[in-house]
Amino acid sequence: MAGTAAAHPHVFVDTGIEVIFDAARQGIALRVTWAYDDLFSLMMLQDRGMDPDFDGLLTPSETAALQGFDMAWEAGFAGDTYALLGAAPLDLSGPSDWTTRLIEGRLTSTHLRRFDRPVVVSDLPLVVQVYDPGFYTAYTLAGETRLTGGTGCSAQAFAADRAAADAILRAAMDEQAGSDGVESDFPAIGAAYAEEVRVTCAAPG
């Protein structure tokens, strides 16, 4: 899993993002859903001798044994999920509260990443990017971004489209130029192909 370098991806992951807000409508955590491609799922199951009849159904004990199968992160693995407020990177905790299920032959896991402190989201967007810097795994945003407790907030997804990525980068650079951000700390530059979600919230009424 962890960052083996590659010229082209070998694992494809449909990624879902849920932003969880607290009662004060401050962002407190992200729940990340990873749905692995058929081949990777098949390999993981074969490795473990599971689902020998390929009917796509696991026994309860098999499901139990799979929990956390992708959560033993190596040191230095950032989790392929990156959060920024505007252009300023936000610290995310390691994964917790994970789940794994087999859905239509695809291993689908979720995990929680907490912000180190509550994030005030306004018209300065909370940006969540999903990408593997080594491009071994290709993450694609799939489905709507869920905003739990984020009344008055909206999310817009940007696909890994070069023009959009450029526009995002330019916008981010502009934002950064207006802040005191240090350019070398700006991780989005290495993420030109990242798919990302931008969450903005209207000022509380």
Residues that bind another protein (CB under 8 A): 4-10, 12, 37-43, 46-47, 54, 105, 135, 138, 140, 159-162, 193
For the record, the structure tokens of 79 come out as: 């989790």
Residues 199, 145 contacting (CB under 8 angstroms): yes
Shortest distance in whole angstroms from residue 201 CB to another protein: 29
User: Is the CB of 24 or the CB of 72 nearer to another protein?
Assistant: 72
- Cβ proximity to another protein: between 39 and 177 the closer is 39
Torsion sign, CA atoms 21, 142, 174, 114: positive
Shortest Å distance, C-beta 140 to another protein: 8
Count CB-CB contacts under 10 A for residue 20. Answer: 17
Q: Residue 94 corresponds to which tokens in the numbers above?
A: 């390691």
Give me the least distance between CB of 10 and another protein, in Å please: 5
Alpha-carbon distance of 13 to 93, in angstroms, equals 21
Residue 184's contacts (CB-CB under 8 Å, 6 or more residues apart) are none
Q: Minimum distance between the CB of residue 24 and another protein, rounded to whole angstroms? A: 38
Of residues 74 and 123, the one with the C-beta less far from another protein: 74
- C-alpha 21/C-alpha 2 separation (Å) is 29
Rounded to the nearest whole angstrom, what is the least distance from the CB of residue 37 to another protein in the complex?
5
User: What count of other Cβ atoms lies within 10 Å of the Cβ of residue 135?
Assistant: 17
Nearer to another protein, 47 or 180 (CB): 47
Q: To the nearest whole angstrom, how small is the minimum distance from the Cβ of residue 159 to another protein?
A: 7
Q: Which is nearer to another protein, 112 or 137 (CB)?
A: 137
Residue 148 Cα distances to 54, 115, 126, 142, 197, angstroms: 36, 15, 14, 17, 15
- Nearer to another protein by Cβ, of 18 and 37: the residue is 37
- Residues recorded for the chain: 205
